[in-house]
Amino acid sequence: MRWFIFISVYILVDIYAFQAVKTLTRNPFVYGIYILLSLAVLGALIYELSAMGAGKNMSVSTMYIFGAFLALFVPKLLLVIFMFAEDIGRFFVGAYMKVAGSSETPFMASRRKFVSTLALGIAAIPFASLIYGMIQGRYNYKVLKYALEFDDLPEEFNGFTLTQISDVHIGSFSNRNKVEYAVNLINEQESDMIVFTGDLVNNLAEEMDDWKGLFSTLKAPQGVFSVLGNHDYGDYVKWNSASEKVENLNRLKSIQREMGWDLLLNENRFITKNGQKIALVGVENWGENGFKKAGDLNKACEGISKEDFKILLSHDPSHWQSEVKKDPRNFHLTLSGHTHGMQFGIDVPGVFKWSPIKYRYENWAGIYQEFGRYINVNRGFGFLGYPGRVGMWPEITVIKLIKKSTSN
């Protein structure tokens, strides 16, 4: 039944959008290309989604087909809005003219052509943007730098820098040179510490087999630390047995250790400098709205006092909003990811940012502060679903900690 509804909506939108094309040209070759592309994308998408079955494990080919679907369907939706608005206007004008007793027709071919031309011009913007996002946008890595001030930061950590990456989703990548460039860019920041906040893979530990050598080159004086994200647990795969799923997770944990990463599983580490320390706390995924909730903040804080300066790694920013920001233990800085900024939006750093994901997550990209505590939501290193990025570029975050009394 769901396929019937989906196909029906797709065809109705397609037919209506096609009216804009027919208004501008009567070339049968153009008609044929339009129809063939529409049918090819629809057929490929249905085939790929059917092949997925009950699981949510999207292959690279599925993502590309989904991307092609979006690149064609979103512009058509815009065409429908324009054409439908013109039809509604013509309907009311016609009704008024009929009541007024006028014999003139409300249809004007020149106006219809103008609306069609305008609609096609505007529809070309999301089409070009989505295509660009798949070709270049997903590799348009941005280094975003912040300096955060704290009254109680230990003196020895004044000027301490950390680089955060998140949501690698390595199973989505195919261009090694681009990923290698990004890894080198991370190292070039020469931060004191590197942290990774979850979703290393899409679903399977084996996705890292060809990449672990590259990611093991990430180095920092104080180490590389990581936590798990919701995709790392393999919850979106139809496993043959429970033991197979456990084995997959254990392998992923082992891979991170082999790369030299210190994986924090509801635990903490003290980072020390000349007798002073800060606490790095890492929880397993803690999510809402159906996402895995394996994080245990109490367990992760064992051996830490309220007075210790604390940095928390927690993949899902809803954890900060629900529990962390008001926790009396005072987590000075929380580092999260998960949202990807929806891989689509408008982002002018320091001026304006918007993405549809903001209607689901209160904290979805960048730095937020409440009660004197900060969270940074990293926009992600990789991509999933739509194989690209538009406006919300892949991010490498560099944060400098400043002791407020010495900031000047």
Contact 291, 337 (CB under 8 A): no
Element (H, E) at 182: helix 176-188
The domain locations on the chain are 2-135, 141-406
pLDDT digits (tens, 9 = 90+) for 285-339: 999 989 999 999 999 999 999 999 999 999 999 999 999 999 999 999 999 999 9
- Give the CA angle between residues 220, 204, 292 to the nearest 5°: 85
Q: What confidence score (pLDDT) does residue 366 get?
A: 96
Say how far apart CA 313 and CA 315 lie, in whole Å: 7
Under DSSP, the state recorded for 208 is: G
Spell out the CATH class of 141-406: alpha beta
Question: Among 351, 350, 355, 338, which Cα is nearest to 392's?
Answer: 355
pLDDT digits (tens, 9 = 90+) for 124-181: 999 999 999 999 999 999 999 999 999 999 999 999 999 999 999 999 999 999 999 9
Say how far apart CA 82 and CA 125 lie, in whole Å: 15
Q: What is the pTM of this model?
A: 0.91
Query: What mean pLDDT comes out for the span 19-43?
Result: 88
DSSP string, 112-140: HHHHHHHHHHHHHHHHHHHHHHHHTGGG-
User: CA torsion, points 293, 298, 300, 303, in degrees to nearest 10?
Assistant: 180
pLDDT digits (tens, 9 = 90+) for 49-60: 887 665 567 788
pLDDT digits (tens, 9 = 90+) for 34-84: 999 999 998 998 888 887 665 567 788 889 999 999 999 999 998 888 888
Q: What confidence score (pLDDT) does residue 83 get?
A: 82
Tell me if residue 145 falls in helix, strand or coil. strand
